[in-house]
Amino acid sequence: MSSSTRVAEARPKSGRETAYRRARIANLPGGAFLEGRWETTEMTVEVRDPEDGVLLGTVCSSSPQDVRRAVAFIHRHLMEDDWALRDRREALERAAALLADQAGRFAEIIAAESSKTITEADREVRRCIETLRLSAAASSELVGETLGFDDSMAGANKIGWFNRKPVGIIAAITPFNDPLNLVAHKLGPALIGGNGVVLKPSGRTPLTGLAFVQLLLDAGVPAGRLAAIVSGPGVSEAIVTDSQVDLISFTGGPKTADRIAAAAGAKKILSELGGNNATIICADAEPAKAAEAVVAGAFGVAGQNCLSVQRVYVHISLFDEFVDRVVTGTRALRVGAKFDRTTDIGPLITEAEARRVEDWVEEAKAAGATVHVGGQRRGAFYQPTVLTDVPADARVINEEVFGPVVSILPFIQISDAIHAANDSEHGLQAGVFTESIELALAIADKLHVGAVVINETSDVRIDSMPFGGFKKSGVGREGVKHAVREMTEPKSTIIKLAEPAARWQQLTATSERNAS
């Protein structure tokens, strides 16, 4: 490692520091929420800080029977108790206000159990507040329209309309890397749509999700609309196969998504499955701005972000300067303790994940790749790494690294860069840097991805936009109002009227009787 790389050793926590950190999250609710109450038995699943292994708390080890009880309870509530749209909107508005009041506490929970630095955790809480507000505002999406029957053989003497109704019970399965906002992106739209939800947060970062469920309850979400189950033998399969679960919303990897689809059968499934996102730097781009954006987009949350910049295609005329700028920016990053506000990059979620990233980089090196900075591991920490000369068949190119590694490759013809960017099983997002709007739009049109960000990297998500990808990057779209549409269905009401002449005679006779 270069001596100029800024590395802050993750020093052992003092007894006072550890006690403070645990005390701040000690008032979290129980280890699972089902049948309208918190479960505190079988609290045997440990949650530890990935930075140093400190025990943060325990959650319940649940069973398939617990899943069945939870789903049945929500199903009865949906059948028996109405929850008016206005009340749903007001509950989510109160939840946003409560989260704003508790922003510091939630940020500390996120930073303690996940890979995020406290600065990154602060940002996630702010985004979640906006997601809740957008979810409340999405009440306006629950409208329908009249149905035009006049121009149809079967439509004579009929009038009708449709409006949107909840699908029923939604299974929300969320990952570790955004343990608050990705939960809100599923629960907010589901609840405003009138559904019930069974949440399964990541077993690596469950404390945030459970605290969020309690916040929703405090805001007025009925206990009969929610359940949260973290872990236990057979729990995941029980959730996705339950016949009363109507829709599965999953964020994770393609292999898990395949298993869910095979087990769930004929159910509606929404999935966001990540990507190995590309950014293209054209010959007329500004190298300094592009390099700064790539460093930020490749290494945030230690690269554990579905939108992370993984592949960068740079016009050969800018290649050497661009690589130098990215390497300089990467060396300036500070790797260290998550609660230190001078830290830029924390650990990966586990040491095993850091070892996997290390193995992938070593494979690329053995095949001829050059490591310009980084390439070293210490426990769960992996230094931000910049590669060039990477073979096209290397895993760091073809698969989702989900770690702090970026590969930079030169191109001569823009068509070659587009082809290389599209040459992937994934298609989530991409970035393009150019001063020509005509060129930018032409490239955007040819990139087979869910979103193209011009003069930024792939690492951009606005919580109101339709979010998802092509190919193995997922099915359906999140983004609050778009998710509301996915989590509701149009229900038509059709009225058959009498023949026009008969109807007119009936109305006339009724009018005359009333007049007399």
Which of 275, 335, 284 is closest to 309 using CA atoms? 275
Q: Which residues of 147-156 are buried (b: 16+ CB within 10 A; e: fewer)?
A: beeeeeeeee
Burial of 496 (0-12, 13-18, 19+ CB in 10 A): exposed
Pairing state between β 158-166 and 169-173: unpaired
> Rounded to an integer, what distance in angstroms lies between the CA atom of residue 377 and that of residue 76?
51
CA distances from 512 to 5, 366, 502, 516 (A): 93, 95, 15, 6
Provide CB contacts within 8 A for 249, sequence distance 6+.
Answer: 170, 171, 172, 173, 186, 190, 269, 270, 271, 478, 483, 487
483: left (phi over 0), alpha (psi -120 to 50) or beta: alpha
Point out the catalytic residue in the list 51, 272, 478, 486: 272
Residue 435 bears catalytic tag: no
Provide DSSP, 382-418: E--EEEES--TT-HHHHS---SSEEEEEEESSHHHHH
Kindly state the tokens that stand for 40.
């505190």
Residue 272 bears catalytic tag: yes
Point out the catalytic residue in the list 128, 306, 400, 478: 306
> Rounded to an integer, what distance in angstroms lies between the CA atom of residue 135 and that of residue 157?
39
Kindly state the tokens that stand for 192.
């405003």
Which of 226, 230, 201, 202 is closest to 215 using CA atoms? 226
Q: Residue 339: count other Cβ atoms within 10 Å of its Cβ.
A: 20
Q: What are the contacts of 367-376 at 24+ separation with CB within 8 A? A: 367/391, 367/393, 367/394, 369/394, 369/396, 369/407, 372/323, 372/327, 373/1, 373/2, 373/5, 373/327, 373/330, 373/331, 374/1, 374/5, 374/330, 374/404, 374/405, 375/1, 376/1
CA distances from 83 to 91, 179, 226 (A): 11, 27, 13
> Rounded to an integer, what distance in angstroms lies between the CA atom of residue 407 and that of residue 460?
19
Residues with a known catalytic role: 272, 306
